[in-house]
Amino acid sequence: MGQVRDSVTHAPLPFASVSLANTSRGTTTDAEGRFQLPGIAPGHYDLGVSYVGYRLYGQPVSLTGPLVLNPAVTPAAQQLAEVVVRHDPNREADYQRFKELFPGSLALARQCRILNPDGVHVDFNPEQNVLSAVASHALEVENPASGYRLRFYQLDFRAEFAN
């Protein structure tokens, strides 16, 4: 049993991973950073603690009876860069443009339907004037007029437009 804390602020670290190396024994700390590893046979182990944004903590321990450990983990020196999340007001328009360009402009091609559009990620880069689309799964396209159904694996579509 014990409590995982930040080595600088001494604040408890909730939901840190605590494990004994080379065993299947491990747990997660509670909201107060506390943990228990009951039923461990006496012996020599390596205690490990991992927590996002912190260095991996390791300490050899010898269990001969009940043991209380209070590991203090060190914050990692790296700092993440700023992340900006923006709503893309052209997303639907970009997808519609992809639907028009992908099958082509012939009369039969205009009747094509994408059956599983959820995994298609469409992006328009206005600086390069490029529309791209990738699919995380096999893209299925059906054309009832011609009676075919196609699967496109690892779709990587790109349309470059002139200025």
At 112 the pLDDT is: 87
Task: Find the radius of gyration of the CA atoms of the chain.
Answer: 27
Rounded Cα distance, 49 and 2, in Å: 12
Q: What does the DSSP assignment read for 104-115?
A: -SSTTGGG-EES
Phi, psi of 36, rounded to the nearest 5 degrees: -140, 140
At 163 the pLDDT is: 62
**pLDDT tens across the length of the chain (163 residues):** 889 999 999 999 999 999 998 888 889 999 999 999 888 888 899 999 999 889 899 999 988 877 788 889 888 876 667 777 766 655 788 888 888 888 887 878 888 888 988 888 899 888 899 999 998 889 899 988 888 899 989 989 999 988 6
At 50 the pLDDT is: 92
109 residue type, one letter: A
Question: Is 29 exposed, middle or buried (CB count within 10 Å of its CB: 0-12, 13-18, 19+)?
Answer: buried
Rounded Cα distance, 120 and 88, in Å: 15
Biggest alpha carbon–alpha carbon distance for the chain: 80
Domains along the sequence of the chain with CATH: 2-73 (2.60.40.1120), 91-160 (no CATH)
